[in-house]
Structure 1
């Protein structure tokens, strides 16, 4: 079977999933330079697949599911490796994973009882992802490369904690309101509005 050009973004996305394994391995072993190089490449694949979809309209149903899944796999793998290496506290890993499990369970429940769920990334979620990435980079740079002042990493831990909680709450409120309107439509509106 030939790879069509419209499937190229999906292949790029899959490469990000594949890169997660050596990134996690290098980080766990404390080989931070190769891990950072592969993380940079993974970041470029994220930018590249998004560019290809926007520029050429090569979007697919698989890609709409695969891209956020690849991001989550990479992020959770990296957080697991950084935590197991002792660079970040275990409770933060539980918080990050717990938020993702909460949102996954919520989206499944919504789809089961309400219907299809249009997931639009909220600004707080984008902010959370940005600071999660910054925290991982800061933690690696602190011990492995630049010997940063730990106060910056501690500050990022606080910011990531807050944005993780707030983003989880924000999605819960947005989806909860939609479910409420579905089951209890305002007067004069039809069910499922």
Structure 2
């Protein structure tokens, strides 16, 4: 886009995008407390919504203000993973989702975590972000709040539950499909022994 400032701020820590990322991370324990303590599901969904907004804003600000940083590249995907794990823990402990759904998502993360370690051992960085991975994360982040809102009686909770499970099923399917593609890319990369390709958008890790 014309006029967009996009410089690299290196090891700077206290930039506005990083502060927003820290705010997102602080919302993880708050979310768990709301879900497992007072069971204030409505406020928990608000925390998830605020997290989604700050996720969008920190990326936009990092590019427009020229404040892309190494720390920011680590905090952003870390916050995404922690929110997914926190929501899964809350849903499981509340008995809203079955164990098999949690295992499907967590096992995918474990498999790709091992892949990252293997790639690093051979001197490679993270793989490019794949559209399917983004679509999967989008589906799951819509599914989780809907499943919380669907935990109750009445017409609205029923509609939220149906929509939530639809997003969850599609999200898990796409999550694993993207994971398989990442594994295939890693295998081809190791087989060819070529340098690591640049990450999509320059400042995002694998989704």
Q: TM-score, normalised by structure 1?
A: 0.85
Aligned equivalent of 1:52: 61
Unmatched runs of 5 consecutive residues or more in structure 2? 1-11, 197-207
Residues 1-193 of structure 1: pairs in structure 2 closer than 5 A: 7-29=15-37, 30-112=39-121, 114-143=122-151, 146-149=156-159, 150-182=161-193
Hey, what's the Cα distance between the residues in 1 that align with 2:114 and 2:17?
28
Hey, what's the Cα distance between the residues in 2 that align with 1:54 and 1:173?
31
Change (3 A) 1:88 1:56: same
Change (3 A) 1:7 1:100: same
After superposing on structure 2, the runs of 4+ consecutive aligned residues of structure 1 that deviate more than 4 Å are: none
Unmatched runs of 5 consecutive residues or more in structure 1? 183-190
- The one of the two structures with greater contact order (alpha-carbon pairs below 8 A, sep at least 6) is 2
Q: Aligned to 1:148, what secondary structure does the other structure show?
A: helix
Greater C-alpha Rg? 1
Query: 1:6: how far off?
Result: 6.4
Query: 1:156: how far off?
Result: 2.9
Greater displacement, 139-148 / 94-103? 139-148
Hey, what's the Cα distance between the residues in 2 that align with 1:84 and 1:90?
10
Greater displacement, 157-166 / 125-134? 157-166
